[in-house]
């Protein structure tokens, strides 16, 4: 009950920052419009999907990534004004504070996901069934858990002055090299090897494989295993960062 009330409070705080909400929701939607104009299209004859759908999957992941990781900036600012120290005087446990910060970013990312999907379905007329929309949406949203944890970790690790550049470096680097803007299979071979290490590559590949069809179930298990490993790693990093903060 206490965690739920704290989570609702965090969401209300984010809602009172319209610049954060507008930028994190509008920017991915605008990027999707730009990239789909350049790289979209009806697809090859006989293909089970259109390039527009693949671009949409990447931009949906990018939007959710931007919201969840950028949440770290808010955490860094909260530390600077003493809000985190104030929370430690309440009955909230440390795990509840960390979970509340991460889940608030996850819930807000749904707005970005819906904005990209609305453009894909209305402006581009991407012909997905209701089941496909739900499957791609679920994969994109649930697969963002490691990045929500990364946002929490960054928020407790970096200072308020460096949080913005650190977060944007992570978002841009993982988006560009992870194949969210351009499918990784189009990269030079050397960059493909780099991309295969990043969690964003395996995250977006789950959605793209669903849209393209014919993917091996083992490939999906491999992607899930890599995402699971990164999730554990970022969770440990977030826990370490928070413990370091509270023991200062």
The tally of domains found in the chain comes to 1
pTM attached to this predicted model: 0.86
- How does residue 42 score in pLDDT terms, banded at 50, 70 and 90? very low
pLDDT (0 to 100) of residue 37: 65
Interhelix angle 51-80/94-118, nearest 10 degrees: 150
- How does residue 176 score in pLDDT terms, banded at 50, 70 and 90? very high
pLDDT (0 to 100) of residue 127: 82
- Computed over its alpha carbons, how large is the radius of gyration of the chain? 18
Contact 200, 226 (CB under 8 A): no
pLDDT above 50 for 9: yes
Structural domain containing residue 36: 2-40+48-246
For residue range 102-123, list pLDDT tens digits in order.
Answer: 888 888 889 899 999 998 888 7
Contact 242, 97 (CB under 8 A): yes
How many Cα neighbours within 13 Å face the side chain of 86?
A: 6
Element (H, E) at 90: none
**Closest Cα partner for 29 from 65, 68, 69, 56?**
56
- How does residue 45 score in pLDDT terms, banded at 50, 70 and 90? very low
Percent of the chain with pLDDT over 90: 38
């Amino acid at each position: 009950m206490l965690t739920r009330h704290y989570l609702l409070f965090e969401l209300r705080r984010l809602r009172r920052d319209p610049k954060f909400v507008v930028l994190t929701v509008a920017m991915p939607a605008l990027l999707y419009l730009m990239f789909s104009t350049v790289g979209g299209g009806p697809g090859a004859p006989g293909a089970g999907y259109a390039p527009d759908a693949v671009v949409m999957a990447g931009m949906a992941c990018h939007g959710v990534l931007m919201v969840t990781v950028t949440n770290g900036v808010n955490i860094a600012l909260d530390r600077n004004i003493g809000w985190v120290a104030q929370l430690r005087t309440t009955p909230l446990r440390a795990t509840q504070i960390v979970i509340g910060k991460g889940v608030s970013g996850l819930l807000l990312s749904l707005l970005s996901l819906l904005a990209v999907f609305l453009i894909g379905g209305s402006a581009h007329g991407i012909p997905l069934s209701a089941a496909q929309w739900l499957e791609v949406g679920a994969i994109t949203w649930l697969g963002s858990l490691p990045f929500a944890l990364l946002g929490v970790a960054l928020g407790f690790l970096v200072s308020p002055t460096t949080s913005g550049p650190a977060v944007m470096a992570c978002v841009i680097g993982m988006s560009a090299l992870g194949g969210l803007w351009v499918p990784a299979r189009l990269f030079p071979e050397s960059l493909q090897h780099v991309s295969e290490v990043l969690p964003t590559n395996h995250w977006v590949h789950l959605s793209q494989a669903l849209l393209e069809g014919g993917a091996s179930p083992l490939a999906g298990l491999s992607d899930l295993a890599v995402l699971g490993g990164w999730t554990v790693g970022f969770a440990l990093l977030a826990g370490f960062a928070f413990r370091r903060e509270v023991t200062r």
